[in-house]
Amino acid sequence: MSSNIKIEREMLTKPGDTILETIEFLKMSQAELAERIGKTPAKVNDIISGKAPVTVNTALQLEKVLGIDMQFWLNREMHYREKLARIEQEEFLEQYIDWLKEQPIKELQKFGYLKSKKVGTEMVEECLKFYGVASPLQWENIYIQNYAQTSFRKSPAQRTLMGSMAAWLRIGELQLRDKHYPEFKKDIFKSLLEKLKPVVESQPEDYPSVLKSMCQQAGVAVVYSHSLPKAPISGAARWVGGIPLIQITDRYKTNDHFWFTFYHEAAHILLHGKKDIFIEEFEGIENDADKEKEANEFARDWLLPDSFLEEIIDEKIDEKVVRRIARTYGTHPAIVIGRLQNLNKVPHFFGVDLKVKINLDYFIEHLSI
């Protein structure tokens, strides 16, 4: 306990202290007071010690017996309980200051989720409010137990990674607030994926807002958030409050990775259960391997089916071939290059000029409002 809190507790006076002073002045014992107000000596002792509160009825009795207005006793009780609650809250928060070491404090401050500058009880309270939990115990149960492998959870060296992952997930949840989503219907969302293909192919500057708006109409929330330094996550899919949520970062900074991540997460929403949670490319999270494979195949089929490989069996692959394939399949050249690189058909430096560099900072700031 800090010295300040200890001093506050020592200086805190109970309504019972005033009762004792008053009966002493009146030359009255506690036993006599109990008899005069119609309570047992044990009950009076509880009131004086602060174990029992001064109720409206007790305050009225004290007014008659001690000659001090009922409202005085009620105000005295209210101020005492309020001050005691604040001291106990400070003591409670103080024991969790070390919990802040697990949190990405600098990033949460940078993005405006935490206002406190100094590590202390105020920051602990603010961090708990950010997560919407009463204590780190609930934080652990909601954000860590549900996601991470047992061995990963128990490793002290991984705690800061867990904190960053939890913060990233929470940021996605907060962006759902105050927004309306119609009831999710699989067929509408699936048809939307087809309507999105011209957006993938043309890669307009406002593609994040177009994608978000179209998905919202289908009852799917798409949110963009920063990839935190200790949580290098590319995307996630889960259901929050009955709403399917796809959360995406610009971790790899190119449009082929962005669209593959989106279609991959869309597959999880369409093909897998509402209780399933998928967090991509984060150490310590073990997604279902079969479901991940299914989502990968789904994304590939939508963006560029394997049949494109038949067209390059005897050809030397150059940018002209890439552009032709992209036109044939109605996709962006970056998608073709990404697939070829993934299949080791071309080196990783090939066709970099055909990939579009992306940065979601502007859309994270403006589309999360």
Establish if 217 belongs to a structural domain: yes
213 domain-assigned: yes
Of the three residues 63, 94, 125, the one that is the final residue of a domain is 94
- Please say if the pLDDT value at position 303 is more than 80: yes
192/337 same-domain check? yes
Between 258 and 151, the higher pLDDT residue: 258
Rounded to 5 degrees, what angle do the CA atoms 358, 363, 367 make? 155
* Cβ-based neighbour number of residue 262 at 10 Å: 23
Pair of tokens at residue 80: 């005492």
Best CA proximity match to 196, nearest among 48, 100, 332: 332
208 and 166 in a common domain: no
Query: Is residue 202 in some structural domain?
Result: yes
Say whether both 198 and 343 belong to one domain: yes
Q: Is residue 180 part of a domain?
A: no
**Is the same domain home to 135 and 252?**
no
Beta-bridge mates of residue 222: 246
State phi, psi for 222 to the nearest 5 degrees.
-115, 120
Please say which residue of 55, 73, 94 terminates a domain. Answer: 94
pLDDT at 311: 82
Q: Are 33 and 42 in contact (CB under 8 A)?
A: no
In this structure, the answer to whether residues 166 and 202 fall within a common structural domain is: no
Instruction: Return mean pLDDT, the chain.
Output: 91
* Parallel/antiparallel/unpaired status of strands 243-248 and 235-240: antiparallel
What amino acid occupies position 368?
S
Domain edge (last residue) among 129, 146, 174? 174
> Closest by alpha carbon to 188, among 211, 218, 214?
218
Query: Pick the residue with more confidence: 3 or 63?
Result: 63
In a domain, 181, yes or no: no
Question: Which one is predicted more confidently, 273 or 159?
Answer: 273
Read off the pLDDT of each residue in 328-337 and give the average, rounded to a whole number: 96
pLDDT, one tens digit per residue, over 156-178 is 657 778 899 999 999 999 998 87
Looking up residue 70, the CATH number of its domain turns out to be: 1.10.260.40
- The DSSP bridge partners found for residue 268 are none
Q: DSSP strand E in 138-233: where?
A: 221-224
Q: What share of the chain is helix, strand, coil (3-state, %, to 5)?
A: 60, 5, 35
Per-residue pLDDT tens digits for 260-269: 999 999 999 9
**pLDDT reported for residue 302:** 96
Distance, CA of 269 to CA of 277 (rounded, Å): 10
Residues of the chain above pLDDT 70, percent: 95
At residue 122, the 3 state secondary structure works out as helix
Does 351 fall in a domain?
yes
8 lies in the same domain as 80: yes
Q: How confident is the model at residue 220 (pLDDT cuts 50, 70, 90)?
A: very high
CB count in 10 Å sphere of residue 56: 11
The answer to whether residue 1 scores a pLDDT higher than 80 is: no
Looking at the structure, tell me whether residues 300 and 203 fall in a common domain. Answer: yes
Distance CA 78, CA 82 (A): 6
**Letter string b/e over residues 71-93, b meaning 16 or more CB atoms within 10 A of that residue's CB:** eebbebbeebeeeeeebeebbeb
The pair phi, psi for residue 151, each rounded to 5°, is -65, -35
pLDDT of the residue at 2? 66
| Residue 270, pLDDT above cutoff 60 | yes
- Mean pLDDT calculated for residue range 334-338: 96
User: Tell me: the pLDDT tens digits for 15-41?
Assistant: 999 999 999 999 999 999 999 999 999
pLDDT tens for 190-209 read 999 999 999 999 999 999 99
What is the spatial order of strands in the sheet that 278-279 belongs to?
221-224, 243-248, 235-240, 278-279
pLDDT over 60 (residue 247): yes
Same domain, yes or no, for 68 and 206? no
d(CA 369, CA 362): 12
Is 211 a member of any domain? yes
Neighbours of 255 (CB within 10 A): 22
**Does 42 fall in a domain?**
yes
Mean pLDDT of 62-73: 97
Q: H helices of 26-120, where?
A: 30-37, 41-49, 56-66, 70-94, 105-110
**Phi, psi dihedral angles at 243 (to 5 degrees):** -115, 130
- Does 217 lie in the same domain as 104? no
Q: DSSP assignment, residue 147?
A: T
Residues 292 and 357 occupy one common structural domain: yes
pLDDT over threshold 60, residue 135 = yes
Supply the range of the domain harboring residue 283: 186-367
Quote the CA–CA distance of 227 and 279 in Å, as a whole number.
12
Residues 13 and 157 in one domain: no
Q: Which residues contact 256 (CB under 8 A, 6 or more apart)?
A: 332, 334, 335, 337, 338, 355
- Tokens of residue 39, six digits: 């309570």
Q: Structural domain tally of the chain?
A: 3
Among 135-149, 202-216, 347-361, whose mean pLDDT is lowest?
135-149
More confident position, 231 or 201: 201
Among 13-17, 280-284, 302-306, where is mean pLDDT lowest? Answer: 280-284
Q: Please state the rounded mean pLDDT for residues 100-108.
A: 94
The distance between the two most distant Cα atoms of the chain, rounded to a whole number of Å, is 111
89-113: average pLDDT: 93
Return the H-helix or E-strand segment holding 294: helix 289-303
Task: Say if residue 90 is in the same domain as residue 152.
Answer: no
* pLDDT at site 242: 93
What pLDDT was estimated at residue 365? 82
